A and B are shown apart, each in its own frame.
Chain A
Amino acid sequence: MLEHLMSAFSPLNIFLALLGVAAGTIIGSIPGLTATMAVAVLVPITFSMQPDSALILMGAIYTGAIYGGAYAAILLNTPGTPSAIATTFDGYPMAKRGDGDLAISIACLASVVGGLIGALALLLLAPPLADAALAFGPVEYFWLAVFGLSLIAALSEGEFLKGVIAACFGLLLAMIGISETSAEVRFTFGSNTLLGGIEVVSALIGLYCIPVLIDLVATPDRHLNPAETQRGFRLVEAVTTVLKNKWNVLRSSLIGTFVGALPGAGGSIAGLVAYSEARRSSKNQANYGKGEPGGVIATESANNATVGGGFIPTLVLGIPGTPPDAVILGALLVQGVRTGPTLFSDGANIVYTFIFGLLLATILMLPVGLLIGRFAYGAIVKAPKSALVPIVAFMTVIGAFSIRNNLSDVIIMIVLGIVGWVASKRGFSVSPIVLGLILGRIAEQGFVQSWTIGDALGDLWGQFFGRPLSLIIIAMTLLTFVYPFMPKLKELFSKSAPPPESERERASGGAVARDVVSFALFGVLAAVAIVQTGSLNEEAAVFPRTIAIGMAVFIAIAFVRLLLTRSVKEVSSPGSTPRRISVPVIMLGAVLLIPVVGFGLAGALMGLALIAAAQYERLKAKPMFILAASVVLVIFLFSFGFKDILGVPLPSGMF
């Protein structure tokens, strides 16, 4: 063991771990640049390296990227990687109230602890955990997805029915494209782009980030208020907060390790499950979703624990736990390292060297992460709005493009952004849509597979409700689902009666009409989906049809409730409407220009137009020129970096 420790800590490997963590953190912080892509770009470089050094470098990048995803989640309400979805729930509210620096330090500490626990589990418990992961069959994946969906109750911000409708919408979005289980083409409306379905990462960027950009330009207020005094890293505060949450950190890290070890799940689900459990068991439950540090701690410790956890099936079974693991597995095969059952039993020293390297990288993430986090915070807080908006907008465009090298994904991202903005103003929060989108395919695959197996064995009931593991997940789901309603139930049974209906605020006729329109629109979507499933084979139709019918029922209930109570939740949107509208219009215009003038030039033009949209006071010529020149420069640097360093084939247009 000691020799592996020694070889992991060779000067070269320490240097690679440091480099990897720093590069990974930066890559992860850019929405659209995922850990998978970062690792894939590296593969050819690792051919000329020793296998152990190559592994350490890739592992370090991976672990850094998962942490880096927290920056954009906290500062821009946009998960930098899908693993950081649940970080936005409390991270962004923290940043909004001026605690962004604290949130980032907390995220760093939680990530390091989670990463260490995941890596230690890989070192000590890999074979038994791999066996445990194998006990997870199609039914368990189905129930796990349902468990994830039960978070709707918590995330719909008091508008439960609207939350459920939004989740159904997300689930239907996930059904678009060629079905994995039946090979049928569904809901593509003849579009080749939609064959591959809605790309999750670009949809996430659209739903979370575009609404932020739209609202940013509407008022001259700053994006985030800078601290009045120099507060440094606020490390003491962060450590105290994490210590207060010690059970939360431990539980979330364990959840992350185990969910990471499930080959069909991944970091986003680990974060959501950990968040859900942290919220349920917390004394400050009411604060979750409003800037409770416990929410950031839960997600960030869980998603970094998936790094170690994900390597468990990768190394023990030869089955990648997460997409970046799949890339690393491929690179290992080329190196001549055979993963799978024999790797651990052969006493393969490379595995242990790698695990110690991963531990080392995780520890190095503490200083590196704090420093880069400090810089990211400073950059976002200090940047003037008219620089922030164009640069972030360009990052969303290039990020959404580079995932599948597809301009249509960028258009889908912008359109979903508009949908997300309108929906959230009407009280349909965005997070349930995202839950549906992420969990839809997992739920459907698990459901159809379980149905096929149960049908073959002639025991459908036993397949869905007769397996002990499923029962545990079902129980947890029920708990999570019922919990948010507990205060209301208590109210019902206690002496103090709820306020009578008549005292509730009655909304204006206009607000009621606007709600009727939004219900009608979702109703049309549900109807279209139901009609379309008529032409599909049963296997492909059963899941979307069930969802669409359920959606229609919930819309009907919400409609009746609206007529009876006339209570409407609207989010007011002060500020300039023309400026708001200009953001998606400028972005769409730039996307249409890309095939003609190329990526960099279209991006620069978009940047200049967005400066105009976001700039309020009149600037003199010189500062205006500096602003415009620096925005254009950053955009060109990004284009160059993506094209020439990351090898993304950006369209160059006619020039």
Chain B
Amino acid sequence: MTKKTIIGAILATAFATTLATAQDFPSKSVDYIIPFGPGGESDVTARFQQPFFKDKFGQDLVVSYKPGGGGAVGWSQLNGMAGDGHTIMGINLPHIIVKPKQGEVGFQTDDITAIYMFHYTPDAIVVHADSDFQSLQDLIDYAKANPKKTTFSGSGKGTANHIAQVIFDDLADIETTYVSFKGTGAAVTALLGKQVVAEWGYTTVGAKQGDKVRMLAVAMEERHPAFPNVPTFRELGFDMVSGAYRGIAVPKSTPEDVRMQLSDMIRDINSDPAFQKQMLDGGFALSEVGYGADMDAFMASKSAEYLAAAKSAGVID
């Protein structure tokens, strides 16, 4: 037996083993833990994925909730869970970047093994349909004339909504007041009840509330297909493309090949036209950041961006 064949045999065995583990997966239902309560964007998009997962990969995707601490309870426990790919958890940006810098929350950003960021909800300024503000300029003019009095509702502090408010105040040179609510639902309720002047929300709010609300601008590179009449901030002269990104992560102990396979599976669901239509109709925007170099580069650039904004928002030191 030559040296070559031995090496070849070893390589082949190694390859076969990898193949075997990869083929074994998923061998049972996959637990998909949402570190929030039901009804939010993380839950809804997980529910969208659920039937496609079952169709494509033959196993159930079981959604469960582990709410608390704005996601911190779930993420701080992620690495203690079984790392065989059958446990995955929803992750959100900027949460996993900003939270660890706000205090002792039981995890660091680097502890989280992000596999795929599959969508984002672009930031948007939303006003009540009865509002006098027809355009973004109307709102800016009012805010300039009445410093602080333009109240925005939004979901939480140090969140995408809050950071968007800080960035935009800076870009437009205005001073507004941000009122933090528990979740998007409560922030929308405050807007519909006219408790606040406007809301820093997402395009999903526009999709859900229909003609009860009006979006003044969206923080996307191009207009959202579901809202062809709503301008982007860029068109109006404000360089702002932002939102909350959502994806999935696995426990640190999950093997490399399973990580890759999961990444490909989520990509597979994302490329299904029926899934895409559901997401876009709901006001979401798809994003395709897979495991590996892509994800590293994405996390690095987003970290720099969010941390700078959070610093000027005063939510971190």
- Residues of B near A192 (CB, < 8 A) are 72-73, 76-77, 105-106
Are A647 and B64 in contact, with the CB atoms below 8 A?
yes
- Residues of B near A458 (CB, < 8 A) are 149
- Residues of A near B148 (CB, < 8 A) are 456
Does A347 lie at the interface of the complex (its beta carbon under 8 Å from any beta carbon of B)?
no
Produce 1/0 per residue, A182-208, CB < 8 A to B.
111100101011011101000000000
Are A177 and B68 in contact, with the CB atoms below 8 A?
yes
- Residues of B near A453 (CB, < 8 A) are 151, 177, 179, 195-196
Are B50 and A44 in contact, with the CB atoms below 8 A?
yes
Are A330 and B64 in contact, with the CB atoms below 8 A?
no
Does B299 lie at the interface of the complex (its beta carbon under 8 Å from any beta carbon of A)?
no
Q: Which residue of B is nearest A262, CB measured?
A: B189
Chain B residues numbered 10-36 whose CB sits less than 8 Å from any CB in chain A:
31
Given contacts A40-B64, A404-B68, contact A185 B104 (CB under 8 A): yes
Are B68 and A330 in contact, with the CB atoms below 8 A?
no
Given contacts A136-B193, A137-B190, A183-B315, contact A196 B39 (CB under 8 A): no
Are A43 and B192 in contact, with the CB atoms below 8 A?
no
Shortest C-beta distance, A87 to chain B (Å), equals 24
Chain B residues numbered 268-314 whose CB sits less than 8 Å from any CB in chain A:
278, 282
Q: Which residue of B is nearest A340, CB measured?
A: B208
Given contacts A263-B185, A340-B208, contact A334 B51 (CB under 8 A): yes
Does B172 lie at the interface of the complex (its beta carbon under 8 Å from any beta carbon of A)?
no
User: Looking at chain B, what size class is its interface with the partner chain?
Assistant: 35 or more
| Complex Cα gap A326–B186 (Å) | 12
- Residues of B near A333 (CB, < 8 A) are 44, 47-48, 282
Does B237 lie at the interface of the complex (its beta carbon under 8 Å from any beta carbon of A)?
no
| Complex Cα gap A183–B157 (Å) | 6
Are B39 and A326 in contact, with the CB atoms below 8 A?
yes
Shortest C-beta distance, A424 to chain B (Å), equals 28
- Residues of B near A318 (CB, < 8 A) are 208-209
Shortest C-beta distance, B158 to chain A (Å), equals 5
Does A650 lie at the interface of the complex (its beta carbon under 8 Å from any beta carbon of B)?
no
Are B180 and A449 in contact, with the CB atoms below 8 A?
yes
Does A320 lie at the interface of the complex (its beta carbon under 8 Å from any beta carbon of B)?
yes
- Residues of B near A197 (CB, < 8 A) are 68-69
Are A195 and B76 in contact, with the CB atoms below 8 A?
yes
| Complex Cα gap A326–B148 (Å) | 33
Are B65 and A185 in contact, with the CB atoms below 8 A?
no
| Complex Cα gap A327–B36 (Å) | 12
- Residues of A near B50 (CB, < 8 A) are 43-44, 47, 334
Please tell me which one of the listed residues A264, A317, A323 contacts residue B37 in the complex, with CB atoms under 8 A apart: A323
Chain B residues touching A, majority SS: mixed
Please tell me which one of the listed residues A44, A313, A325, A456 contacts residue B60 in the complex, with CB atoms under 8 A apart: A44
Given contacts A137-B190, A317-B189, contact A326 B209 (CB under 8 A): no
- Residues of B near A185 (CB, < 8 A) are 102-105
Are B44 and A330 in contact, with the CB atoms below 8 A?
yes
Produce 1/0 per residue, A336-376, CB < 8 A to B.
10111110000000000000000000000000000000000
- Residues of A near B140 (CB, < 8 A) are none
| Complex Cα gap A320–B40 (Å) | 10
Shortest C-beta distance, B247 to chain A (Å), equals 18
Chain A residues numbered 132-168 whose CB sits less than 8 Å from any CB in chain B:
134-138
- Residues of B near A326 (CB, < 8 A) are 37-40, 43, 185
Does B58 lie at the interface of the complex (its beta carbon under 8 Å from any beta carbon of A)?
no
Does A284 lie at the interface of the complex (its beta carbon under 8 Å from any beta carbon of B)?
no
Are A342 and B192 in contact, with the CB atoms below 8 A?
no
Shortest C-beta distance, A37 to chain B (Å), equals 9
Find the residue from A43, A44, A331, A457 having the highest chain B CB count within 10 A: A44
Chain A residues numbered 305-341 whose CB sits less than 8 Å from any CB in chain B:
313, 317-320, 323, 325-327, 329-331, 333-334, 336, 338-341
- Residues of B near A448 (CB, < 8 A) are 180
Are A36 and B38 in contact, with the CB atoms below 8 A?
yes
- Residues of A near B157 (CB, < 8 A) are 181-183
Produce 1/0 per residue, B187-201, CB < 8 A to A.
011101111100000
Does B255 lie at the interface of the complex (its beta carbon under 8 Å from any beta carbon of A)?
no
Given contacts A195-B76, A318-B209, A405-B64, contact A184 B102 (CB under 8 A): yes
Chain B residues numbered 35-63 whose CB sits less than 8 Å from any CB in chain A:
37-40, 43-44, 47-48, 50-51, 54, 60, 62-63
Are A341 and B210 in contact, with the CB atoms below 8 A?
yes
Shortest C-beta distance, B45 to chain A (Å), equals 10
Does B132 lie at the interface of the complex (its beta carbon under 8 Å from any beta carbon of A)?
no
Given contacts A182-B157, A183-B315, A184-B103, contact A330 B196 (CB under 8 A): no
Chain A residues numbered 43-65 whose CB sits less than 8 Å from any CB in chain B:
43-44, 47
Shortest C-beta distance, B93 to chain A (Å), equals 15
Please tell me which one of the listed residues A313, A325, A334 contacts residue B47 in the complex, with CB atoms under 8 A apart: A334
Find the residue from A134, A178, A342, A448 having the highest chain B CB count within 10 A: A178
Does B83 lie at the interface of the complex (its beta carbon under 8 Å from any beta carbon of A)?
no
| Complex Cα gap A263–B102 (Å) | 29
Please tell me which one of the listed residues A134, A177, A313 contacts residue B69 in the complex, with CB atoms under 8 A apart: A177
| Complex Cα gap A329–B211 (Å) | 20
- Residues of B near A193 (CB, < 8 A) are 73
| Complex Cα gap A453–B187 (Å) | 13
Given contacts A330-B47, A333-B44, A334-B47, contact A445 B103 (CB under 8 A): no
- Residues of B near A44 (CB, < 8 A) are 50, 54, 60, 62-63
Given contacts A326-B38, A449-B179, A453-B195, contact A264 B189 (CB under 8 A): yes
| Complex Cα gap A318–B185 (Å) | 9
Are B38 and A40 in contact, with the CB atoms below 8 A?
yes
Please tell me which one of the listed residues A183, A263, A647 contacts residue B62 in the complex, with CB atoms under 8 A apart: A647
Are B39 and A327 in contact, with the CB atoms below 8 A?
yes
Does A237 lie at the interface of the complex (its beta carbon under 8 Å from any beta carbon of B)?
no
Q: Which residue of B is nearest A326, CB measured?
A: B39
Find the residue from A182, A313, A453 having the highest chain B CB count within 10 A: A453
| Complex Cα gap A184–B104 (Å) | 10
Shortest C-beta distance, B307 to chain A (Å), equals 15
| Complex Cα gap A449–B196 (Å) | 10
Are A137 and B73 in contact, with the CB atoms below 8 A?
no
Find the residue from B103, B185, B212 having the highest chain A CB count within 10 A: B185
Does A287 lie at the interface of the complex (its beta carbon under 8 Å from any beta carbon of B)?
no
Please tell me which one of the listed residues B38, B77, B105, B209 contacts residue A340 in the complex, with CB atoms under 8 A apart: B209
Please tell me which one of the listed residues B73, B102, B158 contacts residue A404 in the complex, with CB atoms under 8 A apart: B73
Are B149 and A183 in contact, with the CB atoms below 8 A?
no
Does A452 lie at the interface of the complex (its beta carbon under 8 Å from any beta carbon of B)?
yes
- Residues of B near A340 (CB, < 8 A) are 208-210, 212
Identify 17 new A-B residue pairs, CB closer than 8 A, beyond the known A40-B64, A318-B208, A319-B192: A184-B102, A185-B104, A185-B105, A192-B106, A196-B68, A264-B186, A320-B39, A331-B47, A334-B47, A405-B64, A406-B73, A449-B190, A452-B178, A453-B195, A456-B177, A647-B62, A649-B64
| 25 A-B pairs with C-beta separation under 8 A | A40-B65, A44-B50, A138-B195, A178-B70, A180-B156, A183-B180, A185-B105, A192-B77, A195-B73, A196-B68, A196-B69, A196-B72, A197-B68, A319-B192, A323-B38, A326-B39, A327-B38, A329-B39, A330-B47, A334-B51, A339-B208, A448-B180, A452-B178, A456-B151, A457-B151
